[in-house]
Structure 1
Amino acid sequence: MAAADLLVVITDGMLRWLIMYFPVSFLDITHVCSLIMVFIPATTMNSVWLTVAFTFDRFVAIRCHKFKTKYCTEKTAAMIIGTVSALSCLESIPWFFIFQSKYIFNNLPWFCITKPEFYTSIYWTLYGVLHRLLSPLLPFAIIPFLNTLTVRHVLVASKARRRLQKDSDRERPHDPEMGKRRKSIILLFAISGSFIILWTPYVVCFLLQRIALMHGYSPLPPTAGTIGYLVSLLTTCTNTCIYTVTQRQFREQLRTIVKLPLTLILRSIK
């Protein structure tokens, strides 16, 4: 998830703005900027659905104990990550064919402008609706649903566990199992909760704009949509920060990466 979020920062947070503020570079070649416009939704889609996969993984680990031994494995995690990444790229490929060149200089097409048929074709309209449904409307509904089921199960199981401990006169001031469940719930809500909060402005603006277009109302000002979009990009840094704070192994690996250049320098000096 941290790697996927970093790719969003590179594509959407860096390449997009390099195209906007540094004109007439190799990034403005039509095929290059069209490819970047594929990477942007692909990385965003990948980041969003990895959050959904993480939420489902925690749901299985906490609620489905019989299925847990088969599903919660490194092999399954690698398969899910690879599948989500591949499908995200495949779903975003049509964006490459939305743009056309603005100028042709020395037989080289420059700049990307949207083709007129994108606004009139029923196929592009259906594709746009499907894309917005997959990211972020459907995840926006799945994540709270899974979280509700997970929390409900934890609360019921915790009450039953405390009742059994009380009946057997073995109640202890600190229950390790309850501590693990509490940490898992905190991590779950920290990641999925930040996703819901930061994507809410974008989803609300998107729905209001669609309602305004359907009923002939005045659309929202462009600033509102831009702010909602920028706030949604903050999810690319919150997940990494949450992992840094909560996961000991992640902190150790990050510390190793930071120390690696210094270690190499010291070895070369010796």
Structure 2
Amino acid sequence: MPSLTQILSSANIIAFLIIWRRNCTLSRSSTLYLMAISVADNLVLVFIVVLELSLKYHQQELFWNYEPWCRLRDIFNYGAYNASTWMVVVFTAERFVAIHTWKIKTKVCSPRCAAWTITAIFLFSHVFAIPYYWSNASVYENNQTKCIYNPEAPSQFIHTLVWFQTLHVYILPFLAILTFNGLTLRLISLSNRIHLSSHVTSRVNKVTPLLRSRRRKSMVLLVTVSMSFVLLSVTRAITQIILRMSHMYLFDRNDYSYQINIVADTGTMLSLSNAAVNMYLYVCTQPKFRQEFLACVRQMSVYCKTKI
């Protein structure tokens, strides 16, 4: 698992560097959002996949189980996951505005606006995770130190946090992404009908295919990134809602005689894999990104040969 995580994390770093340093024919605002998504995804891989999930199979007692890390753990975990989720949402919204809302495009789709939005997303994602500082506690039982929900915390406080997190990273993002993508596809369909039925000058006819090609590439990137997030996260979203709305929430999550635990862990695996797939989505959907990626590979191979 650690070696696989290193490969996936490296893929995110490569995607970040290519988008940042190479010419992928993306707008400056889209470049900033995609770089921010790569950073947020890497934080998810580091804090959740490596430091929490992977290490527990290699160490009997994790440093996360001791104070103050036990209380700080979920601030980092949920902060990173919140940022990764809402970066996809704001990227979806920004691309929707860029493709179809020309009146406010210059204001919303500017590098300055993107920078402020990214800063706000990272800041508020971690601010919303601060209440988890009081939800966990380090306890010593059965000759082992564990980090568990604070037994002294009011149950209403714990349930409020759990439901707020479910609403914050699943229900609201899903509704926003599906709405923006639905409107985007509808407007693209209407735009295609208008182009087919309209009679325009020869000069416009020469420009229109280029504009439509750019719009199509932007739409493909938008739908691919956002819908992959929804599809990979929907299993975890459904299982978490089921667990929270029934007595199953009291089950031992490590007891795999319960099918809900198997499905929930599968959903968690799929949801976390979303933090590692964006690099491969860019390669599959963006010809310019593939060209720049292959150019980097060739440069690296030449560099390695000269060194050897």
Q: TM-score range by the shorter chain?
A: 0.7 to 0.9
The residue type paired with residue 228 of structure 1 is: G
Deviations 1:136-179 (A, max 9, x none): 11101110001111111111122212322x46577569811111
* Residues in 2 aligned to 1:29 and 1:88: alpha-carbon distance in whole angstroms: 24
* Equivalent in the alignment of 2:263: 224
Aligned residue number for residue 17 of structure 2: none
Cα deviation code 1:67-125 (max 9, x no counterpart):
00111111111111100000000001111221222249xxxxx542221244x532332
Q: Is the 8 A contact 1:205 1:220 kept in 2?
A: no
Question: What is residue 135 of structure 1 aligned with on the other side?
Answer: 169
Q: Measure the CA separation in 2 of the matches of 1:5 and 1:70.
A: 27
The residue that corresponds to 1:156 in the other structure is 190
CA contact (8 A) 1:208 1:220 kept: no
Hey, what's the Cα distance between the residues in 2 that align with 1:167 and 1:243?
34
In structure 2, relative to structure 1, the CA distance for the partners of 1:247 and 1:128 (3 Å cut) is farther
Matched AA of 1:193: M
Matched AA of 2:52: R
Asked if the contact 1:15–1:36 (Cα under 8 Å) also holds between the matched residues in 2, the reply is no
| Residue-pair matches, total | 258
Other structure's SS at 1:181 match = helix
User: Which structure 2 residues correspond to residues 77-226 of structure 1 after superposition, within 5 A?
Assistant: 77-103=114-140, 111-118=146-153, 120-164=154-198, 166=199, 168=201, 175-213=209-247, 221-226=260-265
Structure 1 letter corresponding to 2:262: T
Q: Report the Cα distance in structure 2 between the residues aligned to 1:196 and 1:35, rounded to whole angstroms.
A: 28
TM score, norm. by length of structure 1 = 0.82
Query: 1:111/1:257 Cα in 2 relative to 1: closer, same or farther (>3 Å)?
Result: farther
| Residues 1:12 and 1:254: Cα distance change in structure 2 (over 3 Å) | farther
Same amino acid, percent of matched pairs: 26
Classify 1:204/1:25 alpha carbon distance in 2 versus 1 (closer, same or farther; 3 Å).
Answer: closer
Q: Using a 3 Å threshold, how does the CA distance of structure 1 residues 200 and 221 change in structure 2: closer, same or farther?
A: same
Which residue, out of 103, 112, 123, partners 1:75?
112
| CA pair 111-237 structure 1, distance change in 2 beyond 3 A | same
- Residues of 2 paired with 1:257 and 1:77: CA distance? 30
Secondary structure at the aligned position of 2:61 is classed as coil
Could you tell me which amino acid in structure 1 is paired with residue 70 of structure 2? C
Larger deviation: 166-175 or 143-152? 166-175
Distance 1:39 1:172 in 2: 51
Distance 1:40 1:178 in 2: 40
TM-score by length of 2: 0.73
Determine whether 1:248 maps to 2:248: no
- Does the CA contact (< 8 Å) of 2:45 and 2:275 recur in 1? yes
- Per-residue CA shift, 1:200-240, capped at 9, x if unaligned? 111221233334349xxxx8631111111111111101222
Relative to 1, partners in 2 of residues 1:262 and 1:117: Cα closer, same or farther, differing over 3 Å? farther
Deviation at 1:199, TM superposition (A): 1.0
Question: Does residue 84 of structure 2 align to residue 47 of structure 1?
Answer: yes
CA distance in structure 1 between the aligned counterparts of 2:301 and 2:136, rounded to whole angstroms: 42
Question: Which structure 1 residue ranges, 5 or more long, are not aligned?
Answer: 105-109
Contact 2:65–2:147 (CA under 8 A) maintained in structure 1: yes
Residue 107 (structure 1) aligns with:
none
**How far apart in 2 are the matches of 1:220 and 1:248?**
44
Matched residue type, 1:134: H
| Contact 2:87–2:118, Cα closer than 8 Å, also in 1 | yes
SS at match of 1:192: helix
Deviates more, 1:133-142 or 1:94-103: 94-103
Q: What residue is the counterpart of 2:41 in the other structure?
A: 5
The farther-off stretch of 56-65 and 221-230 is: 221-230
Task: Tell me how large the CA RMSD over aligned residues is.
Answer: 3.2
Q: Can you give the 5+ residue segments of structure 2 that lack an aligned partner in the other structure?
A: 1-36, 249-257
Q: Cα distance 1:32–1:237, how it changes in 2: closer, same or farther (>3 A)?
A: same
